């Protein structure tokens, strides 16, 4: 079995804001595109347009309807992106019989050495988050790498050295950084918004955090809605807005 490397202060990971994720799957598609042709690809698909499509996706997005917890709140849809959480104490690493699964000491990223992987699937059984992907075509396990071949690529501008999923998110619901540094932007965001671990009772200490969705309003709050007879005063607006108001009011 594989031993864990001594942990260091640096813990690279993702913070995902469930409040503003719209479930567009841009993160999943960008992840697939980058990694399919990158150092950890390809990510093969089998019968993608058939009755039972099968393929490798490092990032998947699930959607759930959540019942309200208070009487005056409506039900809401929560979109939940799921990928490897790069746990501090991952059983997927320690159960590996060949050392193919390992956790990097320098930044905490969990990776798979496909040259050592024998496809026994022990790591996927040990992972409670369903983050391991088995390639039927290649016979090996694959998983999210935090785009390690991108974030350390010095040929990129500094601003572009982020995981593909973070770069692609249109609502900026995904954030990347060092969660081992309490003064980092991502750590402050977790502290401010009450970010939490997924299934903390398992004891794996996932590095990735989720920001909870805020309660939705049903329009019955203390602020009254404008009636149909109320009109916005455009007398002090710019000439362009006054002209638009005049045209739309005809």
Which CATH number characterizes residue 184's domain? 3.30.70.20
pLDDT at residue 233 in the model: 58
Asked whether residue 131 is domain-assigned, the answer is yes
Q: How far apart are CA 107 and CA 117, in angstroms?
A: 22
Backbone angles phi, psi at 155, to 5 degrees: -75, -10
pLDDT at residue 76 in the model: 85
- Block residue for tokens 């019942």: 67
Q: How far apart are CA 87 and CA 106, in angstroms?
A: 14
Asked whether residue 157 is domain-assigned, the answer is yes
**Pairing outcome for strands 12-17 and 209-211:** parallel
0.75 exceeded by pTM: yes
Helices and strands: H and E segment counts in the chain? 7, 11
Tokens of 138: 């290649």
Structural domain harbouring 36: 12-211
User: Which three-class secondary structure state does DSSP give residue 124?
Assistant: helix
Asked whether residue 233 is domain-assigned, the answer is no
Asked whether residue 232 is domain-assigned, the answer is no
Q: Which of 99, 64, 68, 104 is nearest to 86 (CA)?
A: 104
Asked whether residue 76 is domain-assigned, the answer is yes
Q: Structurally, how many domains does the chain consist of?
A: 1
Asked whether residue 246 is domain-assigned, the answer is no
Tokens of 232: 């916005």
Per residue of the chain (250 residues), what is the pLDDT tens digit?
A: 677 877 778 999 999 999 999 999 999 999 999 999 888 889 999 888 888 888 999 999 999 998 877 777 778 899 999 999 999 999 999 999 999 999 999 999 999 999 999 999 999 999 999 999 999 989 999 999 999 999 999 999 999 999 999 999 999 999 999 999 999 999 999 999 999 999 999 999 999 999 998 876 655 444 444 444 545 555 655 565 666 566 556 5
Asked whether residue 47 is domain-assigned, the answer is yes
pLDDT at residue 226 in the model: 47
Q: How far apart are CA 148 and CA 154, in angstroms?
A: 12
Contact criterion met (CB below 8 Å) for 174 and 16: yes
215 to 85, 136, 198: CA distances (angstroms): 25, 42, 19
Asked whether residue 219 is domain-assigned, the answer is no
């Amino acid at each position: 079995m594989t031993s864990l490397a001594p942990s260091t202060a640096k813990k690279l990971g993702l913070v995902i804001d469930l409040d503003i994720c719209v479930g567009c799957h841009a993160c999943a598609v960008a992840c697939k595109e980058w990694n399919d042709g990158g150092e950890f690809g390809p990510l093969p698909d089998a019968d993608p347009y058939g009755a039972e499509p099968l393929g490798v996706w490092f990032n998947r997005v699930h959607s759930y309807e959540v019942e309200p917890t208070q009487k005056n709140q409506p039900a809401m849809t929560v979109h939940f992106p799921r990928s490897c959480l790069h746990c501090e104490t991952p059983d997927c690493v320690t159960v590996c019989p060949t050392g193919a699964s390992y956790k990097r000491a320098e930044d905490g990223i969990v990776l798979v050495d496909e040259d050592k992987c024998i496809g026994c699937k022990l790591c996927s059984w040990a992972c409670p988050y369903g983050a391991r992907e088995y390639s039927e075509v290649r016979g090996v396990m694959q998983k999210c790498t935090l785009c390690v071949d991108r974030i350390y690529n010095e040929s990129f501008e500094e601003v572009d050295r982020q995981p593909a999923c973070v770069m692609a998110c249109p609502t900026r619901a995904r954030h990347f950084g060092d969660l081992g540094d309490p003064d980092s932007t991502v750590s402050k965001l977790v502290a401010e918004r009450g970010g939490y671990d997924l299934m903390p009772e398992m004891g794996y200490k996932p590095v990735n955090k989720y920001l909870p969705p805020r309660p939705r309003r049903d329009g019955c709050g203390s602020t009254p809605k404008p009636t149909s007879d109320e009109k916005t005063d455009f007398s002090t607006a710019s000439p362009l807005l006054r002209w638009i108001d005049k045209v739309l009011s005809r």
